[in-house]
C-alpha cells in the first residue's frame, strides 16, 4: 500500500473511547462462554490421562466403565482417523496434533490423554473415567531442555528430526535454525568489552481463567456442530475434520465468547474427543477441562537455555552479537526457536550478528503459542547482557539502545531491511518520561528493556450487510478476545460516516464466512480491521451506484461524504445528499440487498517495538521482589480504541511480571507436574502489582489504511529483561534464571543454600 | 447416589433443587439452575471467578456444597443489576474497559460490590487486597482498580 493512501488524522471515530458493544453481556453474566451452553439429551465427557511422563500403553480395559449406569460411549485412539501418518517437518503436524489429542502407543507426558468416556452426568462420567484401567510400561523420561540434548537422554520419538539439524545431534533435537550476517570474529575483535553468558527460563502457562470447554454433536451421516472457546474456529473445523475423517464443510463450528487465550487457545485439544464420543453415543457431548488438566495437558510456552555473546565499544556501539537458543516444546516438534532467534537482536542495527536455534523434544505437554512466542525469553537473555555491558562501561541504557537502534532502512538481524518502524520513538518517549528521571529510593533498582514482535496478517474474510433501516451487520471471523468488536465497529462507522452504535459486530461461524485464520499474531485489529475498512468501502461503492442510478448519472460522478452519497462535482448535477438510510430503505426495489465484502491475505502487518521501564525492590532477607513502578511505551501505529490498546500494554506487562518473578512449571524427579493449580502456579494477583503506566506511540504502519500495528504481543517482550535488570540492580547481583523467585534470589545473594 | 432436596433463596427468589451431595453450589447454579454467570476457573477456590455472596459473605461457590445452601440467601452476578439499570460498578467497568475477555468479571463485580457495601471509601491498597482472591489474566488490574475506586467516589457523592 502506498504511503500517501494512509489516513492518519481527521477521524470522527478512530481514537475515541466508546463503550464496547458486548459490555452489558459481560458485566451481567449474560455472555455465553465455552462451558455456558447445553443441548437437549447432552452427555458429559471426561478424559482419562496418563500419570506417567513416558510410558508404553500396554492395554486399556474399558469394560468396567462401559458397564456402569449412564455410560454411553468410550473412545480411545482407535476411534480417530488412521489416515494420518507421522512425518518429520510440517507434513507431520496433523499427526502430532492427533497424537497429542489422544495418545497412540505411548503416553508422552504427565497428563497425556489416553481414553475418554461420555455419560449422562459429569459425576457419572468422572466415576466411569476412574474405572477405565490402563496398563502402562513405564519408560525413562526427560523434562529438562539441556538434559534432553545430552547423549544419554531417552529418545522421545525416532524419525521426527528435520534434515536441517546438523549431524551428530541427539534425536530429540528435531529442528534447527541459523541466520545472521557480517563477520563475527572481526566484530568481537573490534570491541572494548565482550560479555558472554548463559540464561535459562522455565515454561509458563498462558493462564487464561477459562478452562477449555466445548459442546459437540456428530451424527453417523458425518454432519456435525461444535461450540467451543477458541481463538480460531476455522482451524478447529479443519483439524477436527481431519482427525475424525470428515469433510470439512460438514462440520460447522461456532466460537463462544472466549475467556482468555494468549495463544493457548490456538490449539485443538478436547474438541475432536467430544465429537468422537458424540459420534459413538449419537448424542451431544460436552467436555469442560478442569484446571489441573489445563496445566498438565495444554499450553505451556517453551522453556529455554540460551548462550549470548555481545561485544561493545566504550562509546556504546555494539560491534558483534551472537546467540544460541535451545527451546524445548514438549513431546512434539514446534518449540518457537526460530522466532526466539529472530527476535533476539531485532531491536539493533548490527554489522555482525548470528543466531542459532534448536527445537528440542522432552516429556512435557506440547507447547502452544504464548503471546509473541519466543521473543520474551530471547529479550531476557540479550537485554540482560546489554545491561551488563552498559553497567561495566558506565553508559546510559536508553542512550546506548538509541545509539544502536534499528531504524527504517537498516538491515534486520534476521535479514530484511526495515520498513517504517517506531523503536527510536519508543526509546525517546521512554527517556522523556518522568519515570526515567525519578530518583530511586534506597534499595530500589531500575531496569530498561526493548522488545520486538513481527505481527501477522493472515487469511481474512469479512462481510458487511446493510439493513433497511440503515444500520449495519458486520460479520468478522476472528474471535473477540479483548474488545475487538468495538474496534471493528469503529472502523466500519468511520468509513460509512454513521454512528458507532449503528454497527453490530458479530463473530460469524464457519458456515457464514470464508476461512479466517486464528486470532493470533496480533492480527485482529490489523487484518480484520483492514478487511472491515475494505468491506465498508465495497458497500460504499454499491451505495454510490444506487445513488447514481437514481440521479441518472455515472457511478464515478458520485462520492461518499459524512454518511451520504453526494455528487462528486458541479458537472454531476445538483442533487440533494442521499443518506445511507434513504438508500437502504429502497434497496429491495433498486437492485436488492447491499453487502460489502473483503476476502484476502493482507501482508502488510507492521512490526511493533516497545520499551519498558521498571523499578523493583528486593527484600534481601526473604528474597521477595516488589515492583514499585512500571511504564510501558509501545508503538501502536494508530490506536483505534486507545483504552483497549492501553489494556493490552498493561496486560502484557502483568503477564511478564508473573513470568519474571513467580510462574514456572515444576517437574518432580518422576516427571510429574507438581504445581498444576493456581495456588502453586501463582499468577499475579491485584495486590502484587502497581498501576501500570501505558504510553502509546503512533508511528503509522504503511500496510494498514489507518496505520494500525498489532499491539497484543509486543507488550510481553520487554518485561522479563526489564525486571531482571531492575532486580539485578536492586539485589546487587546478576539474575540469569527465571523466575526470579525468592529462593533463587536468596541463592544468588549467597544467603541461602 | 440419591439426591438431596434443597430449598434456598437466590437473588431474592425462592429456589429449590435436587442435587447430588457431591455437587457444589457452583455446579448447582450452572448445571441445575442454568445460571451460568458464575464461572469455574479452577474448582479449588484459587481464582474467584465463581464468587457469590451467601448471607452477605463473599465465598467461592466452588468450595461450598449445594446441600449447604439450604435456608441461605445467595447473590450472584445475575442479581447485581436491577430490571431498570446496571449497578454503578457494572457501568463503570464498561466505561473504563475494566474487562478484556470478561471471564473474571462476574466474580470481580460480586467481590467489589461486597467490598463497597462494607467499606464505601476504600484505599487503593484495600481494593487490591480485597480483590486479591479474584484472578484476572488480561488487564493487569490497573483499570479494574480505577473502576472500583471511581465507582466508590461516585456512590459516596450520590449518597
Asked if B20 reaches chain A (Cβ–Cβ under 8 Å), the answer is yes
ipTM summary value? 0.98
Shortest Cα distance, chain A CAs vs residue B91, angstroms: 8
* Closest residue on chain A to B47 (Cα): A678
Residues 465-504 of A with CB under 8 A from B: 481-483
Average pLDDT over residues A409-416: 97
Q: How does pLDDT run across A342-398, given as a tens digit for each residue?
A: 999 999 999 999 999 999 999 999 999 999 999 999 999 999 999 999 999 999 999
Partner-chain residue, chosen from B35, B46, B94, that has the shortest CB–CB distance to A679: B46
Distances (CA, A) of A387 to A74, A134, A399, A750: 56, 52, 12, 22
Contact A712, A16 (CB under 8 A): no
Residue A536 has pLDDT above 50, yes or no: yes
Q: In the structure grid, which three cell numbers stand for residue A532, read together?
A: 472491515
Kindly state the greatest CA–CA separation across chain A.
Answer: 88
- What local confidence, expressed as pLDDT, does residue A681 receive? 98
Q: In the structure grid, which three cell numbers stand for residue A459, read together?
A: 487469511
- What local confidence, expressed as pLDDT, does residue A1 receive? 45
Distance CA B159, CA B147 (A): 18
Nearest to A223 by CA among A285, A279, A281, A286: A279
| Residue A54 per-residue DSSP state | S
Shortest Cα distance, chain A CAs vs residue B119, angstroms: 17
Contact A329, A368 (CB under 8 A): no
Q: How does pLDDT run across B92-145, given as a tens digit for each residue?
A: 999 999 999 999 999 999 999 999 999 999 999 999 999 999 999 999 999 999
Q: How does pLDDT run across A198-231, given as a tens digit for each residue?
A: 999 999 999 999 999 999 999 999 999 999 999 9
Shortest Cα distance, chain B CAs vs residue A646, angstroms: 9
Shortest Cα distance, chain A CAs vs residue B5, angstroms: 18
Distance CA A93, CA A520 (A): 18
CA angle A543, A546, A552 (to 5 degrees): 140
Contact A463, A535 (CB under 8 A): yes
Q: How does pLDDT run across A704-752, given as a tens digit for each residue?
A: 999 999 999 999 999 999 999 999 999 999 999 999 999 999 999 996 5
- Looking up cell 431474592 gives B12
- Looking up cell 488438566 gives A293
Query: Which stretches of A567-718 are DSSP H helices?
Result: 580-585, 642-661
Question: Which residue of B81, B84, B101, B145 to mutate against A (max A Cβ within 10 Å)?
Answer: B101
Residues 636-665 of A with CB under 8 A from B: 643-644, 646-648, 650-651, 653-655
Q: Which residues of A touch B141 (CB under 8 A)?
A: 654, 684, 686, 689
Q: In the structure grid, which three cell numbers stand for residue A735, read together?
A: 539474575
B49 backbone dihedrals φ, ψ, rounded to 5°: -65, -20
Q: How does pLDDT run across A421-444, given as a tens digit for each residue?
A: 999 999 999 999 999 999 999 999
Asked if A750 reaches chain B (Cβ–Cβ under 8 Å), the answer is no
Asked if B108 reaches chain A (Cβ–Cβ under 8 Å), the answer is no
Distance CA A75, CA A658 (A): 38
- What local confidence, expressed as pLDDT, does residue A7 receive? 86
- What local confidence, expressed as pLDDT, does residue B1 receive? 67
DSSP per residue, A504-544: EEEE--TTTSS----S-TT-IIIIIHHHHHHHHHHHHHHHH
Q: How many residues are listed for chain A in this entry? A: 753
Partner-chain residue, chosen from A28, A647, A685, that has the shortest CB–CB distance to B139: A647
Partner-chain residue, chosen from A28, A655, A677, that has the shortest CB–CB distance to B46: A677
What value does the CA radius of gyration of chain A take, rounded to a whole number of Å? Answer: 27
CA angle A304, A308, A311 (to 5 degrees): 165
CA neighbours closer than 13 Å in the CB half-sphere of residue A517: 19
Are residues A29 and B93, on separate chains, in Cβ contact within 8 Å?
no
Distance CA A706, CA A309 (A): 40
| Residue B28 per-residue DSSP state | I
* Closest residue on chain B to A694 (Cα): B142
Residues 245-264 of A with CB under 8 A from B: 257-262
Residue A583 has pLDDT above 80, yes or no: yes
Are residues B100 and A483, on separate chains, in Cβ contact within 8 Å?
yes
Percent of chain A with pLDDT over 90: 97
Asked if B17 reaches chain A (Cβ–Cβ under 8 Å), the answer is no
Q: How many residues are listed for chain B in this entry? A: 159
The separation between the first and the last C-alpha atoms of chain A, rounded to the nearest angstrom, is 59
Distance of CA B57 to the CA centre of its chain: 10
Q: How does pLDDT run across A60-117, given as a tens digit for each residue?
A: 999 999 999 999 999 999 999 999 999 988 899 999 999 999 999 999 999 999 999 9
Asked if B137 reaches chain A (Cβ–Cβ under 8 Å), the answer is yes
Q: In the structure grid, which three cell numbers stand for residue A275, read together?
A: 465429537
Q: How does pLDDT run across A270-311, given as a tens digit for each residue?
A: 999 999 999 999 999 999 999 999 999 998 999 999 999 999
Partner-chain residue, chosen from B103, B127, B133, that has the shortest CB–CB distance to A259: B103
Are residues A678 and B125, on separate chains, in Cβ contact within 8 Å?
no
Q: For residue A69, give every residue at least 6 positions away whose Cβ sits within 8 Å of its Cβ, in sequence order, or none.
A: A124
Nearest to A241 by CA among A227, A214, A228, A222: A222
Contact A334, A403 (CB under 8 A): no
- What local confidence, expressed as pLDDT, does residue A5 receive? 72
Residues 687-726 of A with CB under 8 A from B: 687-689, 691-692, 694
- What local confidence, expressed as pLDDT, does residue B83 receive? 87
Q: Which residues of B touch A20 (CB under 8 A)?
A: 94, 97
* Closest residue on chain B to A678 (Cα): B46
- What local confidence, expressed as pLDDT, does residue A2 receive? 47
| Sign of the torsion formed by the C-alpha atoms of A559, A564, A570 and A576 | positive
Average pLDDT over residues A125-137: 98
* Closest residue on chain B to A290 (Cα): B42
Are residues A24 and B22, on separate chains, in Cβ contact within 8 Å?
no
Question: Which residue of B74, B99, B103, B107 to mutate against A (max A Cβ within 10 Å)?
Answer: B103
pLDDT band, residue A605 (cuts 50/70/90) = very high
Distance CA A46, CA A128 (A): 9
- What local confidence, expressed as pLDDT, does residue A751 receive? 66
| Residue A548 per-residue DSSP state | H
Asked if A122 reaches chain B (Cβ–Cβ under 8 Å), the answer is yes
Question: Which residue of A28, A209, A483, A690 to mutate against B (max B Cβ within 10 Å)?
Answer: A209
Distance CA A600, CA A47 (A): 39
Partner-chain residue, chosen from B94, B96, B141, that has the shortest CB–CB distance to A686: B141
Are residues A685 and B97, on separate chains, in Cβ contact within 8 Å?
no
Average pLDDT over residues A623-649: 98
**pTM of the predicted model over 0.90:** yes
Average pLDDT over residues A130-155: 97
Q: Which residues of A touch B143 (CB under 8 A)?
A: 643, 646-647, 650
Shortest Cα distance, chain A CAs vs residue B157, angstroms: 23
Residue-averaged pLDDT of chain A: 97
Residues 59-88 of B with CB under 8 A from A: 76-78, 80-81, 86
Amino acid at each position: 500500500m502506498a504511503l500517501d493512501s494512509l489516513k492518519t488524522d481527521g477521524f470522527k471515530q478512530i481514537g475515541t473511547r466508546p463503550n464496547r458493544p458486548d459490555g452489558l453481556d459481560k458485566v451481567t453474566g449474560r455472555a455465553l462462554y465455552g462451558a455456558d451452553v447445553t443441548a437437549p439429551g447432552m452427555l458429559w465427557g471426561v478424559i482419562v490421562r496418563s500419570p506417567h511422563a513416558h510410558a508404553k500403553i500396554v492395554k486399556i480395559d474399558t469394560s468396567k466403565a462401559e458397564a456402569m449406569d449412564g455410560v454411553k460411549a468410550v473412545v480411545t485412539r482407535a476411534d480417530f482417523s488412521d489416515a494420518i501418518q507421522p512425518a518429520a517437518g510440517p507434513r507431520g503436524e496433523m499427526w502430532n496434533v492427533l497424537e497429542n489429542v489422544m495418545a497412540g502407543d505411548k503416553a508422552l507426558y504427565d497428563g497425556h490423554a489416553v481414553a475418554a468416556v461420555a455419560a449422562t452426568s459429569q459425576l457419572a462420567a468422572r466415576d466411569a473415567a476412574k474405572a477405565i484401567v490402563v496398563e502402562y510400561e513405564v519408560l525413562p523420561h526427560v523434562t529438562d531442555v539441556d538434559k534432553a540434548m545430552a547423549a544419554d537422554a531417552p529418545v522421545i520419538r525416532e524419525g521426527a528430526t528435520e534434515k536441517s539439524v546438523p549431524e551428530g545431534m541427539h534425536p530429540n533435537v528435531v529442528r534447527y535454525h541459523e541466520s545472521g550476517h557480517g563477520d563475527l570474529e572481526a566484530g568481537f575483535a573490534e570491541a572494548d568489552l565482550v560479555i558472554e553468558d548463559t540464561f535459562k527460563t522455565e515454561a509458563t502457562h498462558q493462564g487464561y481463567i477459562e478452562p477449555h470447554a466445548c459442546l459437540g454433536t456428530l451424527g453417523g451421516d458425518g454432519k456435525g456442530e461444535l461450540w467451543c472457546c477458541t481463538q480460531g474456529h476455522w482451524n478447529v473445523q479443519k483439524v477436527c475434520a481431519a482427525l475424525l475423517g470428515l469433510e470439512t464443510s460438514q462440520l460447522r463450528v461456532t466460537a463462544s465468547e472466549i475467556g482468555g487465550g494468549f495463544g493457548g487457545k490456538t490449539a485443538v485439544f478436547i474438541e475432536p474427543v467430544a465429537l468422537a464420543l458424540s459420534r459413538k453415543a449419537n448424542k451431544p457431548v460436552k467436555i469442560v477441562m478442569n484446571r489441573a488438566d489445563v496445566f498438565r495437558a495444554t499450553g505451556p510456552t517453551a522453556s529455554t537455555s540460551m548462550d549470548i555473546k555481545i561485544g561493545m565499544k566504550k562509546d556504546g556501539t555494539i560491534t558483534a552479537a551472537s546467540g544460541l537458543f535451545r527451546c524445548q516444546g514438549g513431546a512434539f516438534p514446534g518449540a518457537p526457536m526460530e522466532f526466539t532467534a529472530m527476535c533476539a537482536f531485532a531491536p539493533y542495527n548490527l554489522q555482525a550478528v548470528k543466531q542459532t536455534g534448536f527445537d528440542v523434544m522432552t516429556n512435557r505437554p506440547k507447547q502452544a503459542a504464548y503471546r509473541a512466542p519466543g521473543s520474551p525469553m530471547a529479550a531476557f537473555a540479550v537485554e540482560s547482557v546489554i545491561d551488563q555491558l552498559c553497567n561495566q562501561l558506565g553508559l546510559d541504557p536508553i542512550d546506548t539502545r538509541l545509539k544502536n537502534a534499528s531504524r527504517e532502512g537498516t538491515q534486520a538481524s534476521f535479514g530484511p531491511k526495515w520498513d517504517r518502524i517506531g523503536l527510536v520513538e519508543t526509546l525517546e518517549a521512554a527517556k522523556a518520561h518522568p519515570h526515567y528521571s525519578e530518583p530511586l529510593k534506597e534499595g530500589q533498582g531500575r531496569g530498561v528493556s526493548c522488545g520486538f514482535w513481527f505481527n501477522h496478517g493472515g487469511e481474512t474474510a469479512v462481510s458487511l450487510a446493510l439493513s433497511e433501516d440503515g444500520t449495519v451487520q458486520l460479520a468478522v471471523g476472528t474471535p473477540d478476545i479483548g474488545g475487538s468488536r468495538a474496534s471493528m465497529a469503529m472502523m466500519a462507522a468511520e468509513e460509512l460516516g454513521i454512528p458507532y452504535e449503528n454497527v453490530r459486530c458479530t463473530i460469524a461461524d464457519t458456515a457464514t464466512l470464508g476461512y479466517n485464520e486464528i486470532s493470533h499474531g496480533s492480527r485482529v485489529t490489523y487484518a480484520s480491521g483492514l478487511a472491515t475498512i475494505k468491506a465498508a468501502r465495497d458497500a460504499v461503492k454499491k451505495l454510490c451506484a444506487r445513488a447514481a442510478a437514481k440521479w441518472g448519472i455515472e457511478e464515478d460522478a458520485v462520492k461518499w461524504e459524512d454518511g451520504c452519497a453526494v455528487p462528486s462535482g458541479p458537472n454531476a448535477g445538483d442533487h440533494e445528499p442521499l443518506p445511507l438510510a434513504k438508500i437502504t430503505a429502497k434497496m429491495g426495489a433498486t437492485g436488492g440487498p447491499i453487502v460489502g465484502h473483503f476476502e484476502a491475505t493482507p501482508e502488510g502487518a507492521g512490526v511493533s517495538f516497545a520499551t519498558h521501564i521498571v523499578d523493583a525492590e528486593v527484600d534481601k532477607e526473604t528474597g521477595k521482589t516488589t515492583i514499585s513502578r512500571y511504564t510501558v511505551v509501545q508503538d501502536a501505529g494508530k490506536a483505534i480504541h486507545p483504552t483497549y490498546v492501553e489494556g493490552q500494554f498493561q496486560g502484557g506487562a502483568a503477564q511478564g511480571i508473573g513470568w519474571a518473578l513467580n510462574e514456572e512449571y515444576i517437574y518432580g524427579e518422576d516427571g510429574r507436574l507438581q504445581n498444576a493449580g493456581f495456588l502453586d502456579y501463582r499468577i499475579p494477583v491485584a495486590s502484587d502489582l502497581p498501576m501500570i503506566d501505558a504510553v502509546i506511540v503512533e508511528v503509522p504502519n504503511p500496510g494498514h489504511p489507518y496505520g494500525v500495528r498489532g499491539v497484543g504481543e509486543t507488550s510481553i517482550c520487554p518485561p522479563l529483561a526489564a525486571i531482571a535488570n531492575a532486580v539485578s540492580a536492586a539485589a546487587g547481583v546478576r539474575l540469569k534464571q527465571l523466575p526470579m523467585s525468592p529462593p533463587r534470589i536468596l541463592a544468588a545473594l549467597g544467603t541461602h543454600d | 447416589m440419591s439426591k438431596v432436596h434443597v430449598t434456598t433463596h437466590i437473588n431474592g427468589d425462592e429456589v429449590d433443587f435436587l442435587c447430588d451431595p457431591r455437587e457444589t453450589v457452583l455446579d448447582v447454579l450452572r448445571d441445575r439452575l442454568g445460571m451460568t454467570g458464575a464461572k469455574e476457573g479452577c474448582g479449588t477456590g484459587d481464582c474467584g471467578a465463581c464468587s457469590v455472596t451467601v448471607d452477605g459473605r463473599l465465598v467461592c461457590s466452588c468450595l461450598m456444597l449445594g446441600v449447604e445452601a439450604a435456608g441461605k440467601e445467595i447473590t450472584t452476578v445475575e442479581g447485581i443489576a436491577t430490571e431498570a439499570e446496571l449497578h454503578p460498578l457494572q457501568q463503570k467497568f464498561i466505561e473504563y474497559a475494566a474487562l478484556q475477555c470478561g471471564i473474571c468479571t462476574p466474580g470481580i463485580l460480586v467481590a467489589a460490590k461486597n467490598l463497597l457495601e462494607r467499606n464505601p471509601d476504600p484505599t487503593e491498597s484495600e481494593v487490591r487486597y480485597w480483590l486479591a482472591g479474584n484472578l484476572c489474566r488480561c488487564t493487569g488490574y490497573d483499570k479494574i482498580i480505577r473502576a472500583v475506586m471511581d465507582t466508590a467516589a461516585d456512590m459516596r457523592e450520590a449518597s
